[in-house]
A and B are shown apart, each in its own frame.
Chain A
């Protein structure tokens, strides 16, 4: 750990990596909470994987891959959302199709891009150590968009996540807010891809929020706890991976997975204890 701290003082790329992790955790906490309570992790996975199409195309035509990723993510989110609203029965098939087609397009573009294309691995699994410092500004900007949109539309997003039918009866434009929420998921996916790559995004999007959901019982509380947890996980994952020279992304994910499993077990034990105590209290009052 001390080794990591002194390295942090010495190397600018490590500080950039740490900051990227912290910036990504805002998205993973705020939007991850919606993904968990609305149970759209599979849908978010589809958006994440289809992003490869945008990255591949951007690489081939010589644009910034992050920009390509953002466009592809939003397009995929809108396609999935519109089809789900129109023909809800086909949602899982469609997500699967977008998932695979997006990746196929991306791999074809990358294969046909002249020159050195070993970057494929860093798109798939991320490389937080290679985040260019200028991308930090982009990530901060995306965070700002996320937080402002959620602050402004918190009630509508809550209503659409909780009970779509009732929201519709109250005159809330459900389709609009659902699509907007999916677009925010798309933006978050792009944020997180910088850190852990598109294959592992789903873990950072769901695990911190799921752990928070074990212990707090309001959506706002989940967002705060999941953001703090995401920050702790990305920072400690980075620190743990530094000494033994492990890839940072998978280290963070394994750490998040371990925290999730421990939290789920503790939560189950805690519930059982509470139920026993409540049962015991009832027995005593009956006597």
Chain B
């Protein structure tokens, strides 16, 4: 197990009295592309925040790159589900991407930072967006910029929370094609509500509804979907 870049052992977390996650065990290998699926309020975003060290579990142990999450966090790239900033903030795309190069040091960005920002925007096919103000971008363009911001520090692990929740389907395919290319060099953990769609891209699917139900194979069968989403759910054939 020492090969795992992300390792959770017996992790439980609750907000006040409300349990969100219980007894989660998960190990992700280097350069693995893992999809995390499950119903709304199943604890997916919470699990990501635990891995990022933004939350601390009450029970259990989390190691990221062999370190405590807080210590590993600068080696991770993160794309949030909802932009946590005001869309009318007076800031250009370049400045947003440069933020991914921030460190503890004072002073200004240098030429190497700017070159990295351009490379990163090029990687997500968004170089033409450099001078644009963040508020003028479409949903898909904003998602590319946030991805570039996560990539600009050349992270070993990329963590994305519903990267395609606010964009149309064609764009969704583009973003996942992009992730499939990035996977050659990085470990990727992506949250999605669309189990059928992501199963065509990822190496492995982990299903989360307060507890992690299955994470050994990518086989998604009716029985699994039924356990995840109780009630009458029809499986939809989805072929790539």
> Interface of A with B (CB < 8 Å)?
37, 39, 152-156, 158-159, 161-173, 213, 216-219, 221-222
Contacts and interface: CB of A to CB of B under 8 A. Distances in A.
Task: For the complex of A and B, list the 3 residue pairs with the smallest distance between their C-beta atoms, beginning with the closest.
Answer: A170-B102, A163-B85, A217-B133
Nearest to A167: B102
B107 interface: yes
17 contacts: A37-B86, A152-B107, A155-B106, A158-B91, A159-B102, A162-B99, A166-B78, A166-B84, A169-B52, A169-B73, A170-B153, A171-B74, A171-B102, A171-B103, A172-B102, A217-B92, A217-B133
Best-buried of A155, A165, A173, A222 by chain B (most CB within 10 Å)? A155
Contact of A155 (B74, B80, B108, B153): B108
Contact of A164 (B52, B84, B92, B104): B84
Contacts of A158: 91, 95, 99
A229 to B, nearest CB: 15
B89 interface: yes
B108 A163 contact: no
Contact of A165 (B84, B98, B104, B109): B84
Nearest to B113: A155
Contact of B106 (A156, A165, A213): A156
Main secondary structure of the interface of B (DSSP, over half): loop
Contact of B78 (A37, A39, A169, A221): A169
Contacts of A219: 90-91
Interface string B59-74: 0000000000000011
B43 interface: no
Interface of B: 52, 54, 73-74, 76, 78, 80, 83-86, 89-92, 95-96, 98-100, 102-104, 106-109, 133, 149, 153
Best-buried of A161, A169, A171 by chain B (most CB within 10 Å)? A169
A170 B90 contact: no
Given A158-B91, A162-B85, A170 B99 contact: yes
Given A153-B106, A155-B106, A213-B90, 6 more contacts: A162-B85, A163-B84, A165-B54, A168-B54, A171-B73, A217-B92
B95 A218 contact: yes
A178 to B, nearest CB: 15
B108 A154 contact: yes
Contacts of A168: 54
Contacts of A173: 104
Contacts of B52: 169
Contacts of A216: 90
A163 B106 contact: no
Contacts of A152: 106-107
Contacts of A154: 108
B90 A221 contact: yes
Contacts of A159: 99, 102
A182 B126 CA distance: 36
A162 B102 contact: no
A204 B91 CA distance: 23
B90 A155 contact: no
Contact of B89 (A162, A172, A221): A162
Contacts of B84: 163-166
Given A155-B108, A169-B78, A217-B133, A163 B99 contact: yes
B175 to A, nearest CB: 19
Contacts of A222: 90
Contacts of A218: 90-92, 95
Contacts of B76: 169
A277 to B, nearest CB: 15
